[in-house]
Structure 1
Amino acid sequence: MTKTILITGAGTGIGKDTAFALAQRGHRVLATTQTEAQALNLKQAANEQGLLLEAFKLDITLKEDQALLAQHHVDVLINNAAMGESGSLAEVDMQRVRQLFEVNLFATLELTQVALRQMIERESGTVLFISSIAGRVPMPFLMPYSMSKFALSAAAAGLRAEMDQLKKNIHITVIEPGAIHTGFNQAMTDSKYAWMGPSSYFAHQAEAMKKQERITFNWLEAKTTRSIVNAIVKASEAKRPRLRYVAPWIQGFGVRLARILGV
Protein backbone atom coordinates (compact mmCIF):
# COMPACT_ATOMS: atom_id res chain seq x y z
CA MET A 1 0.00 0.00 0.00
CA THR A 2 1.32 3.43 -0.91
CA LYS A 3 1.79 5.61 2.15
CA THR A 4 2.55 9.25 2.89
CA ILE A 5 5.79 9.17 4.84
CA LEU A 6 7.44 12.19 6.46
CA ILE A 7 11.09 11.84 7.40
CA THR A 8 13.15 14.40 9.28
CA GLY A 9 16.86 14.95 8.84
CA ALA A 10 16.72 13.80 5.23
CA GLY A 11 19.47 16.05 3.94
CA THR A 12 22.30 13.57 4.36
CA GLY A 13 23.27 10.05 5.33
CA ILE A 14 20.69 7.53 6.49
CA GLY A 15 17.83 10.02 6.18
CA LYS A 16 18.61 10.87 2.57
CA ASP A 17 19.13 7.26 1.53
CA THR A 18 15.91 6.22 3.25
CA ALA A 19 13.92 8.99 1.57
CA PHE A 20 15.19 7.88 -1.84
CA ALA A 21 14.51 4.20 -1.12
CA LEU A 22 10.92 4.92 -0.06
CA ALA A 23 10.35 7.10 -3.12
CA GLN A 24 11.66 4.32 -5.34
CA ARG A 25 9.02 2.03 -3.83
CA GLY A 26 6.25 4.42 -4.85
CA HIS A 27 5.48 6.08 -1.53
CA ARG A 28 4.71 9.77 -1.25
CA VAL A 29 7.78 10.99 0.59
CA LEU A 30 7.94 14.27 2.49
CA ALA A 31 11.68 14.62 2.95
CA THR A 32 12.43 17.39 5.42
CA THR A 33 15.70 19.09 6.30
CA GLN A 34 17.01 21.57 8.84
CA THR A 35 17.69 24.30 6.25
CA GLU A 36 16.31 25.58 2.96
CA ALA A 37 19.66 24.99 1.27
CA GLN A 38 19.60 21.32 2.26
CA ALA A 39 16.07 20.98 0.91
CA LEU A 40 17.09 22.50 -2.42
CA ASN A 41 20.10 20.19 -2.71
CA LEU A 42 17.87 17.21 -1.88
CA LYS A 43 15.37 18.16 -4.60
CA GLN A 44 18.16 18.44 -7.13
CA ALA A 45 19.64 15.08 -6.16
CA ALA A 46 16.20 13.43 -6.41
CA ASN A 47 15.57 14.97 -9.81
CA GLU A 48 18.91 13.68 -11.07
CA GLN A 49 17.82 10.16 -10.09
CA GLY A 50 14.35 10.59 -11.56
CA LEU A 51 12.67 10.34 -8.16
CA LEU A 52 9.50 12.10 -7.06
CA LEU A 53 9.64 13.42 -3.53
CA GLU A 54 8.66 16.62 -1.74
CA ALA A 55 11.54 18.26 0.08
CA PHE A 56 11.17 21.23 2.40
CA LYS A 57 12.68 22.79 5.50
CA LEU A 58 11.39 21.51 8.83
CA ASP A 59 13.63 22.39 11.75
CA ILE A 60 12.24 20.17 14.48
CA THR A 61 13.27 22.63 17.21
CA LEU A 62 11.02 25.39 15.83
CA LYS A 63 7.32 25.42 16.73
CA GLU A 64 6.34 27.03 13.43
CA ASP A 65 8.17 24.30 11.53
CA GLN A 66 6.66 21.53 13.66
CA ALA A 67 3.24 22.87 12.69
CA LEU A 68 4.00 22.15 9.02
CA LEU A 69 3.46 18.47 9.68
CA ALA A 70 -0.19 19.10 10.54
CA GLN A 71 -0.76 20.35 6.99
CA HIS A 72 -0.23 16.86 5.62
CA HIS A 73 -1.98 13.52 6.03
CA VAL A 74 0.99 11.54 7.37
CA ASP A 75 0.74 7.76 7.59
CA VAL A 76 4.29 7.25 8.84
CA LEU A 77 6.54 9.66 10.73
CA ILE A 78 10.24 8.78 10.72
CA ASN A 79 12.03 10.73 13.44
CA ASN A 80 15.53 10.70 12.00
CA ALA A 81 16.82 14.24 12.69
CA ALA A 82 19.53 14.24 15.35
CA MET A 83 22.81 15.81 16.36
CA GLY A 84 25.95 14.34 17.87
CA GLU A 85 28.11 15.53 20.73
CA SER A 86 31.06 13.90 22.43
CA GLY A 87 33.27 14.57 25.43
CA SER A 88 33.92 13.36 28.94
CA LEU A 89 31.02 13.76 31.36
CA ALA A 90 33.63 14.97 33.85
CA GLU A 91 34.11 18.23 31.96
CA VAL A 92 31.72 18.68 29.03
CA ASP A 93 29.73 21.92 29.14
CA MET A 94 26.23 20.97 30.27
CA GLN A 95 24.76 23.47 27.82
CA ARG A 96 26.04 21.22 25.03
CA VAL A 97 24.31 18.26 26.64
CA ARG A 98 21.09 20.23 27.09
CA GLN A 99 21.11 21.21 23.41
CA LEU A 100 21.69 17.58 22.46
CA PHE A 101 18.66 16.46 24.46
CA GLU A 102 16.62 19.34 23.06
CA VAL A 103 17.13 18.02 19.53
CA ASN A 104 17.41 14.26 20.03
CA LEU A 105 14.64 13.89 22.61
CA PHE A 106 12.43 16.89 23.41
CA ALA A 107 11.91 18.35 19.92
CA THR A 108 11.51 14.83 18.53
CA LEU A 109 8.74 14.10 21.03
CA GLU A 110 7.06 17.45 20.32
CA LEU A 111 6.93 16.68 16.60
CA THR A 112 5.62 13.20 17.39
CA GLN A 113 2.78 14.71 19.38
CA VAL A 114 1.77 16.78 16.35
CA ALA A 115 1.67 13.62 14.23
CA LEU A 116 -0.19 11.61 16.86
CA ARG A 117 -3.07 14.09 17.00
CA GLN A 118 -4.11 13.29 13.45
CA MET A 119 -3.16 9.60 13.68
CA ILE A 120 -5.28 9.04 16.78
CA GLU A 121 -8.20 10.91 15.23
CA ARG A 122 -8.25 8.67 12.17
CA GLU A 123 -7.12 5.58 14.17
CA SER A 124 -4.15 4.71 12.02
CA GLY A 125 -0.46 5.52 11.87
CA THR A 126 3.13 4.51 12.54
CA VAL A 127 5.93 6.44 14.22
CA LEU A 128 9.56 5.38 13.90
CA PHE A 129 12.26 6.67 16.23
CA ILE A 130 15.78 6.40 14.83
CA SER A 131 17.82 5.73 17.95
CA SER A 132 21.23 4.03 18.05
CA ILE A 133 23.04 0.96 19.29
CA ALA A 134 25.12 3.52 21.17
CA GLY A 135 22.05 4.03 23.37
CA ARG A 136 22.52 0.53 24.77
CA VAL A 137 26.27 0.47 25.31
CA PRO A 138 28.07 2.94 27.60
CA MET A 139 31.14 4.20 25.73
CA PRO A 140 33.68 6.66 27.10
CA PHE A 141 33.54 10.12 25.54
CA LEU A 142 30.32 9.32 23.64
CA MET A 143 28.03 9.46 26.64
CA PRO A 144 26.31 12.78 25.84
CA TYR A 145 25.02 11.23 22.60
CA SER A 146 24.50 7.77 24.10
CA MET A 147 22.41 9.16 26.97
CA SER A 148 20.13 11.04 24.57
CA LYS A 149 19.57 7.91 22.49
CA PHE A 150 19.04 5.74 25.57
CA ALA A 151 16.33 8.18 26.66
CA LEU A 152 14.79 8.19 23.17
CA SER A 153 14.61 4.39 23.03
CA ALA A 154 13.02 4.28 26.47
CA ALA A 155 10.49 6.94 25.48
CA ALA A 156 9.58 5.04 22.33
CA ALA A 157 9.07 1.76 24.20
CA GLY A 158 6.85 3.48 26.75
CA LEU A 159 4.87 5.29 24.06
CA ARG A 160 4.34 2.00 22.24
CA ALA A 161 2.78 0.52 25.39
CA GLU A 162 0.56 3.58 25.79
CA MET A 163 -0.64 3.41 22.18
CA ASP A 164 -1.34 -0.31 22.56
CA GLN A 165 -3.48 0.47 25.59
CA LEU A 166 -5.29 3.22 23.67
CA LYS A 167 -6.21 0.68 20.96
CA LYS A 168 -6.24 3.22 18.11
CA ASN A 169 -4.10 1.19 15.68
CA ILE A 170 -1.04 3.39 16.28
CA HIS A 171 2.33 1.64 16.07
CA ILE A 172 5.60 2.83 17.61
CA THR A 173 8.97 1.40 16.62
CA VAL A 174 12.61 1.92 17.53
CA ILE A 175 15.28 1.66 14.83
CA GLU A 176 18.81 1.20 16.16
CA PRO A 177 21.58 1.74 13.59
CA GLY A 178 25.04 0.51 14.40
CA ALA A 179 28.21 2.20 13.22
CA ILE A 180 27.70 3.12 9.57
CA HIS A 181 29.99 5.17 7.35
CA THR A 182 28.13 8.42 6.69
CA GLY A 183 30.56 10.89 8.30
CA PHE A 184 28.27 11.42 11.30
CA ASN A 185 30.44 9.41 13.69
CA GLN A 186 33.61 11.24 12.72
CA ALA A 187 31.97 14.64 13.12
CA MET A 188 30.57 13.61 16.51
CA THR A 189 33.83 12.28 17.93
CA ASP A 190 35.70 15.32 16.60
CA SER A 191 33.27 17.73 18.29
CA LYS A 192 34.98 17.43 21.66
CA TYR A 193 38.32 18.59 20.29
CA ALA A 194 36.77 21.96 19.45
CA TRP A 195 36.62 22.79 23.15
CA MET A 196 39.15 20.46 24.84
CA GLY A 197 42.06 22.77 25.63
CA PRO A 198 45.32 22.35 27.55
CA SER A 199 43.37 22.34 30.82
CA SER A 200 41.31 19.29 29.83
CA TYR A 201 41.80 16.24 32.02
CA PHE A 202 42.50 14.30 28.82
CA ALA A 203 44.62 16.85 26.92
CA HIS A 204 47.70 14.63 27.16
CA GLN A 205 45.74 11.78 25.53
CA ALA A 206 44.03 13.76 22.77
CA GLU A 207 46.29 12.76 19.86
CA ALA A 208 46.23 9.09 20.83
CA MET A 209 42.43 9.26 21.18
CA LYS A 210 42.04 10.75 17.69
CA LYS A 211 44.20 8.01 16.19
CA GLN A 212 42.32 5.24 17.99
CA GLU A 213 38.93 6.64 16.97
CA ARG A 214 39.93 6.58 13.30
CA ILE A 215 41.21 3.01 13.58
CA THR A 216 38.04 1.89 15.34
CA PHE A 217 35.68 3.43 12.78
CA ASN A 218 37.71 2.11 9.83
CA TRP A 219 37.35 -1.39 11.28
CA LEU A 220 33.81 -1.19 12.67
CA GLU A 221 31.70 0.92 10.33
CA ALA A 222 29.49 -0.67 7.70
CA LYS A 223 30.49 0.78 4.35
CA THR A 224 26.94 1.43 3.10
CA THR A 225 23.58 2.35 4.63
CA ARG A 226 21.81 -0.50 2.83
CA SER A 227 21.08 -2.69 5.87
CA ILE A 228 19.64 0.08 8.03
CA VAL A 229 17.66 1.59 5.15
CA ASN A 230 16.12 -1.83 4.48
CA ALA A 231 15.13 -2.08 8.14
CA ILE A 232 13.49 1.36 8.10
CA VAL A 233 11.61 0.57 4.88
CA LYS A 234 10.44 -2.75 6.35
CA ALA A 235 9.17 -1.10 9.52
CA SER A 236 7.49 1.70 7.55
CA GLU A 237 5.56 -0.75 5.39
CA ALA A 238 4.70 -3.32 8.07
CA LYS A 239 1.09 -3.71 9.18
CA ARG A 240 2.32 -4.08 12.75
CA PRO A 241 6.06 -3.39 13.01
CA ARG A 242 8.19 -4.89 15.75
CA LEU A 243 9.29 -2.83 18.74
CA ARG A 244 12.93 -2.84 17.66
CA TYR A 245 14.94 -3.21 14.46
CA VAL A 246 18.75 -3.30 14.58
CA ALA A 247 21.18 -3.13 11.66
CA PRO A 248 23.77 -4.19 10.71
CA TRP A 249 22.71 -7.40 12.44
CA ILE A 250 26.25 -8.44 13.34
CA GLN A 251 26.73 -5.27 15.39
CA GLY A 252 23.41 -5.84 17.14
CA PHE A 253 24.47 -9.41 17.91
CA GLY A 254 27.75 -8.12 19.30
CA VAL A 255 25.91 -5.75 21.64
CA ARG A 256 23.63 -8.51 22.94
CA LEU A 257 26.61 -10.83 23.45
CA ALA A 258 28.54 -8.15 25.33
CA ARG A 259 25.60 -7.56 27.67
CA ILE A 260 25.21 -11.28 28.33
CA LEU A 261 28.90 -11.53 29.15
CA GLY A 262 28.71 -8.42 31.33
CA VAL A 263 31.35 -6.59 29.31
Structure 2
Amino acid sequence: MTKTIFITGAGSGLAKGTAFGLAKQGHKVIAPVETAPQVTALREEAESKGLALEVFKMDIKNPQDLAQMLDYDFDIFVANAAVNEGGPLSEVPMSNFRELFEVNVFSTLETAQIAARKFVDKGKGKIIFMSSMAGIMASPYVGPYTATKHAIEAIATTMQKELEGHGVQVATINPGAFATGFNDRSAEAKWKWYDEAIHFTRKEDMEEADKALENQYDPADMIEKMVEIIPLDTHQFRTAFPEETEKQMKQEEAKRWDMKI
Protein backbone atom coordinates (compact mmCIF):
# COMPACT_ATOMS: atom_id res chain seq x y z
CA MET A 1 0.00 0.00 0.00
CA THR A 2 1.43 3.37 -0.98
CA LYS A 3 1.83 6.08 1.66
CA THR A 4 2.28 9.83 1.72
CA ILE A 5 5.55 10.49 3.52
CA PHE A 6 6.81 13.89 4.73
CA ILE A 7 10.57 13.95 5.37
CA THR A 8 12.37 17.10 6.56
CA GLY A 9 15.90 18.07 5.56
CA ALA A 10 15.64 16.14 2.31
CA GLY A 11 18.17 18.25 0.44
CA SER A 12 21.16 16.05 1.17
CA GLY A 13 22.54 12.89 2.73
CA LEU A 14 20.49 9.92 3.84
CA ALA A 15 17.20 11.81 3.61
CA LYS A 16 17.69 12.73 -0.03
CA GLY A 17 18.52 9.15 -1.00
CA THR A 18 15.59 7.90 1.04
CA ALA A 19 13.19 10.39 -0.56
CA PHE A 20 14.25 9.12 -4.00
CA GLY A 21 14.01 5.49 -2.89
CA LEU A 22 10.52 5.91 -1.46
CA ALA A 23 9.35 7.74 -4.59
CA LYS A 24 10.71 4.90 -6.74
CA GLN A 25 8.51 2.52 -4.76
CA GLY A 26 5.47 4.60 -5.68
CA HIS A 27 5.02 6.48 -2.42
CA LYS A 28 4.07 10.16 -2.52
CA VAL A 29 7.04 12.00 -1.01
CA ILE A 30 6.92 15.51 0.43
CA ALA A 31 10.55 16.58 0.62
CA PRO A 32 11.16 20.05 2.07
CA VAL A 33 14.72 21.40 2.19
CA GLU A 34 16.46 24.09 4.23
CA THR A 35 17.45 26.61 1.54
CA ALA A 36 16.14 27.93 -1.78
CA PRO A 37 19.16 26.68 -3.82
CA GLN A 38 18.49 23.17 -2.47
CA VAL A 39 14.94 23.40 -3.84
CA THR A 40 16.22 23.89 -7.39
CA ALA A 41 18.90 21.21 -7.07
CA LEU A 42 16.55 18.58 -5.63
CA ARG A 43 13.78 19.28 -8.14
CA GLU A 44 16.20 19.00 -11.05
CA GLU A 45 17.75 15.78 -9.74
CA ALA A 46 14.32 14.25 -9.11
CA GLU A 47 13.22 15.20 -12.65
CA SER A 48 16.36 13.66 -14.13
CA LYS A 49 15.47 10.40 -12.36
CA GLY A 50 11.85 10.58 -13.51
CA LEU A 51 10.61 10.93 -9.93
CA ALA A 52 7.80 13.14 -8.64
CA LEU A 53 8.76 14.80 -5.36
CA GLU A 54 6.96 17.71 -3.69
CA VAL A 55 9.91 20.01 -2.94
CA PHE A 56 9.84 23.41 -1.23
CA LYS A 57 11.91 25.47 1.20
CA MET A 58 11.19 24.77 4.85
CA ASP A 59 13.81 25.88 7.34
CA ILE A 60 12.46 24.25 10.50
CA LYS A 61 13.63 27.23 12.61
CA ASN A 62 11.45 29.60 10.57
CA PRO A 63 7.83 29.89 11.85
CA GLN A 64 6.52 31.02 8.44
CA ASP A 65 8.20 28.06 6.77
CA LEU A 66 6.86 25.65 9.40
CA ALA A 67 3.30 26.84 8.80
CA GLN A 68 3.47 25.15 5.40
CA MET A 69 3.16 21.78 7.13
CA LEU A 70 -0.47 22.63 7.84
CA ASP A 71 -1.21 22.62 4.10
CA TYR A 72 -0.27 18.97 3.62
CA ASP A 73 -1.95 15.70 4.46
CA PHE A 74 0.43 12.80 5.07
CA ASP A 75 0.55 9.35 6.66
CA ILE A 76 4.11 9.31 7.96
CA PHE A 77 6.29 12.12 9.26
CA VAL A 78 10.08 11.70 9.34
CA ALA A 79 11.82 14.30 11.52
CA ASN A 80 15.21 14.21 9.85
CA ALA A 81 16.49 17.81 9.56
CA ALA A 82 19.53 18.29 11.79
CA VAL A 83 22.92 19.95 12.12
CA ASN A 84 26.09 18.47 13.55
CA GLU A 85 29.09 19.92 15.33
CA GLY A 86 31.75 18.35 17.47
CA GLY A 87 34.13 19.67 20.09
CA PRO A 88 34.89 19.25 23.81
CA LEU A 89 31.84 19.91 25.98
CA SER A 90 33.97 21.61 28.62
CA GLU A 91 34.95 24.32 26.14
CA VAL A 92 32.45 24.44 23.27
CA PRO A 93 31.09 27.99 22.80
CA MET A 94 27.60 28.09 24.23
CA SER A 95 26.24 29.85 21.14
CA ASN A 96 27.29 26.81 19.07
CA PHE A 97 25.79 24.42 21.61
CA ARG A 98 22.51 26.35 21.72
CA GLU A 99 22.28 26.34 17.92
CA LEU A 100 22.45 22.55 17.84
CA PHE A 101 19.66 22.30 20.39
CA GLU A 102 17.63 24.93 18.53
CA VAL A 103 17.63 22.84 15.35
CA ASN A 104 17.97 19.25 16.54
CA VAL A 105 15.69 19.42 19.57
CA PHE A 106 13.43 22.48 19.86
CA SER A 107 12.60 22.98 16.16
CA THR A 108 12.48 19.23 15.58
CA LEU A 109 9.96 18.80 18.39
CA GLU A 110 7.94 21.68 16.96
CA THR A 111 7.62 19.88 13.62
CA ALA A 112 6.67 16.68 15.43
CA GLN A 113 4.00 18.54 17.41
CA ILE A 114 2.40 19.73 14.16
CA ALA A 115 2.46 16.19 12.79
CA ALA A 116 1.11 14.80 16.08
CA ARG A 117 -1.89 17.13 16.01
CA LYS A 118 -2.70 16.11 12.44
CA PHE A 119 -2.39 12.41 13.27
CA VAL A 120 -4.43 12.65 16.49
CA ASP A 121 -7.22 14.36 14.54
CA LYS A 122 -7.15 11.49 12.01
CA GLY A 123 -6.73 8.80 14.66
CA LYS A 124 -3.68 7.34 12.92
CA GLY A 125 -0.21 8.17 11.65
CA LYS A 126 3.45 7.57 12.37
CA ILE A 127 6.25 9.87 13.52
CA ILE A 128 9.81 8.71 12.98
CA PHE A 129 12.64 10.61 14.62
CA MET A 130 16.00 10.31 12.91
CA SER A 131 18.21 9.70 15.90
CA SER A 132 21.71 8.22 15.78
CA MET A 133 24.03 5.76 17.42
CA ALA A 134 24.91 8.94 19.35
CA GLY A 135 21.43 8.82 20.87
CA ILE A 136 22.65 5.96 23.06
CA MET A 137 26.45 6.10 22.90
CA ALA A 138 28.72 8.91 24.09
CA SER A 139 32.13 9.51 22.52
CA PRO A 140 34.69 12.18 23.40
CA TYR A 141 34.52 15.38 21.32
CA VAL A 142 31.13 14.51 19.79
CA GLY A 143 29.30 15.74 22.89
CA PRO A 144 27.26 18.63 21.46
CA TYR A 145 25.57 16.46 18.82
CA THR A 146 25.34 13.49 21.19
CA ALA A 147 23.49 15.59 23.77
CA THR A 148 20.85 16.57 21.20
CA LYS A 149 20.32 12.98 20.09
CA HIS A 150 20.03 11.77 23.69
CA ALA A 151 17.27 14.38 24.02
CA ILE A 152 15.58 13.05 20.87
CA GLU A 153 15.63 9.53 22.34
CA ALA A 154 13.83 10.81 25.44
CA ILE A 155 11.34 12.77 23.35
CA ALA A 156 10.57 9.80 21.10
CA THR A 157 10.18 7.34 23.97
CA THR A 158 7.88 9.69 25.86
CA MET A 159 5.77 10.59 22.83
CA GLN A 160 5.40 6.90 21.96
CA LYS A 161 3.74 6.34 25.33
CA GLU A 162 1.66 9.51 25.18
CA LEU A 163 0.36 9.09 21.62
CA GLU A 164 -0.22 5.34 21.52
CA GLY A 165 -3.74 5.77 22.90
CA HIS A 166 -4.53 8.17 20.06
CA GLY A 167 -3.58 5.64 17.39
CA VAL A 168 -0.29 7.40 16.59
CA GLN A 169 2.93 5.40 16.29
CA VAL A 170 6.34 6.84 17.22
CA ALA A 171 9.74 5.32 16.42
CA THR A 172 13.41 6.13 15.94
CA ILE A 173 15.98 5.23 13.31
CA ASN A 174 19.55 5.15 14.59
CA PRO A 175 22.22 5.07 11.87
CA GLY A 176 25.84 4.28 12.55
CA ALA A 177 28.62 6.34 10.93
CA PHE A 178 27.81 6.65 7.22
CA ALA A 179 29.94 8.50 4.68
CA THR A 180 27.52 11.24 3.66
CA GLY A 181 29.89 14.07 4.64
CA PHE A 182 27.68 14.98 7.61
CA ASN A 183 30.10 13.56 10.19
CA ASP A 184 33.17 14.94 8.44
CA ARG A 185 31.76 18.49 8.41
CA SER A 186 31.01 18.12 12.11
CA ALA A 187 34.59 17.11 12.88
CA GLU A 188 35.91 20.11 10.92
CA ALA A 189 33.62 22.64 12.62
CA LYS A 190 35.44 22.71 15.97
CA TRP A 191 38.65 23.94 14.36
CA LYS A 192 36.93 27.24 13.55
CA TRP A 193 36.86 28.26 17.20
CA TYR A 194 39.44 26.03 18.87
CA ASP A 195 42.69 27.80 19.76
CA GLU A 196 45.56 25.78 21.24
CA ALA A 197 46.85 28.89 22.99
CA ILE A 198 43.57 29.41 24.86
CA HIS A 199 41.87 26.03 25.28
CA PHE A 200 43.06 23.27 27.60
CA THR A 201 41.75 20.38 25.47
CA ARG A 202 44.68 18.81 23.67
CA LYS A 203 44.62 19.11 19.90
CA GLU A 204 46.22 15.69 19.44
CA ASP A 205 43.43 14.04 21.46
CA MET A 206 40.78 15.50 19.18
CA GLU A 207 42.75 14.59 16.07
CA GLU A 208 43.04 11.01 17.35
CA ALA A 209 39.28 10.86 17.93
CA ASP A 210 38.63 12.12 14.39
CA LYS A 211 40.40 9.03 13.01
CA ALA A 212 37.23 7.07 13.86
CA LEU A 213 35.70 8.65 10.74
CA GLU A 214 38.23 7.06 8.40
CA ASN A 215 36.15 3.90 7.87
CA GLN A 216 32.53 4.95 7.53
CA TYR A 217 29.80 2.80 6.02
CA ASP A 218 28.33 3.08 2.53
CA PRO A 219 25.22 5.34 2.71
CA ALA A 220 23.43 3.20 0.10
CA ASP A 221 22.98 0.45 2.69
CA MET A 222 21.38 2.80 5.24
CA ILE A 223 19.15 4.33 2.58
CA GLU A 224 17.94 0.86 1.60
CA LYS A 225 17.14 0.11 5.26
CA MET A 226 15.26 3.41 5.68
CA VAL A 227 13.24 2.84 2.51
CA GLU A 228 12.31 -0.59 3.86
CA ILE A 229 11.34 0.53 7.39
CA ILE A 230 9.64 3.91 6.95
CA PRO A 231 6.47 2.75 5.11
CA LEU A 232 5.86 -0.35 7.28
CA ASP A 233 2.74 -0.57 9.43
CA THR A 234 4.63 -2.34 12.21
CA HIS A 235 8.33 -2.59 13.14
CA GLN A 236 10.69 -2.18 16.09
CA PHE A 237 10.49 1.06 18.07
CA ARG A 238 14.22 1.53 17.46
CA THR A 239 15.92 0.56 14.19
CA ALA A 240 19.70 0.65 14.65
CA PHE A 241 21.78 -0.11 11.57
CA PRO A 242 24.08 -1.75 10.63
CA GLU A 243 24.08 -4.77 12.95
CA GLU A 244 27.57 -3.92 14.26
CA THR A 245 26.28 -0.52 15.34
CA GLU A 246 23.32 -2.09 17.15
CA LYS A 247 25.73 -4.37 19.05
CA GLN A 248 27.95 -1.40 19.94
CA MET A 249 24.97 0.56 21.23
CA LYS A 250 23.75 -2.31 23.41
CA GLN A 251 27.23 -2.92 24.82
CA GLU A 252 27.74 0.78 25.56
CA GLU A 253 24.40 0.99 27.36
CA ALA A 254 25.20 -2.08 29.47
CA LYS A 255 28.65 -0.72 30.40
CA ARG A 256 27.18 2.35 32.06
CA TRP A 257 25.74 0.27 34.90
CA ASP A 258 29.25 -0.92 35.82
CA MET A 259 31.13 2.35 35.29
CA LYS A 260 33.07 3.75 38.21
CA ILE A 261 34.74 7.13 38.59
> TM-score, structure 2 length as denominator?
0.93
Compute the displacement of 1:44 (Å).
0.8
2:200 is aligned to: 201
Compute the displacement of 1:232 (Å).
2.4
Contact 2:20 2:46 in 1 (8 A): yes
**What is the correspondence of 1:24-39 to structure 2 with a 5 Å cutoff?**
24-39=24-39
2:186 is aligned to: 188
**What is the correspondence of 1:84-95 to structure 2 with a 5 Å cutoff?**
84-95=84-95
Q: 1:218 aligns with which of 191, 214, 223?
A: 214
Q: Secondary structure at the match of 1:14?
A: helix
User: Aligned equivalents of 1:255 and 1:127: distance in 2?
Assistant: 22
1:256 is aligned to: 250
Q: Could you report, residue by residue, the CA deviation over 1:120-144 in whole angstroms, capped at 9, with x for unpaired residues?
A: 1111111110011012111111111
Q: Could you report, residue by residue, the CA deviation over 1:87-109 in whole angstroms, capped at 9, with x for unpaired residues?
A: 11111111211111110011011
Contact 2:140 2:209 in 1 (8 A): no
For structure 1, which runs of at least 5 residues remain unmatched after alignment? none
Contact 1:231 1:246 in 2 (8 A): no
Contact 2:81 2:104 in 1 (8 A): yes
Q: Could you report, residue by residue, the CA deviation over 1:216-243 in whole angstroms, capped at 9, with x for unpaired residues?
A: 2123x10x22332233223322113321
1:245 is aligned to: 239
Compute the displacement of 1:247 (Å).
0.9
2:172 is aligned to: 174
1:105 is aligned to: 105
In structure 2, give the amino acid aligned to 1:110.
Answer: E
Q: 1:235 aligns with which of 229, 240, 245?
A: 229
For structure 2, which runs of at least 5 residues remain unmatched after alignment? none
**RMSD across aligned C-alpha pairs, in angstroms?**
1.5
Contact 1:13 1:182 in 2 (8 A): yes
Contact 1:171 1:241 in 2 (8 A): no
Q: Could you report, residue by residue, the CA deviation over 1:14-69 in whole angstroms, capped at 9, with x for unpaired residues?
A: 11011001000101111111001101101111111111111111111111111111
Give me the identity figure in percent.
34
The number of residues matched between the two structures is 256
In structure 1, give the amino acid aligned to 2:168.
Answer: I
In structure 2, give the amino acid aligned to 1:250.
Answer: E
> TM-score, structure 1 length as denominator?
0.92
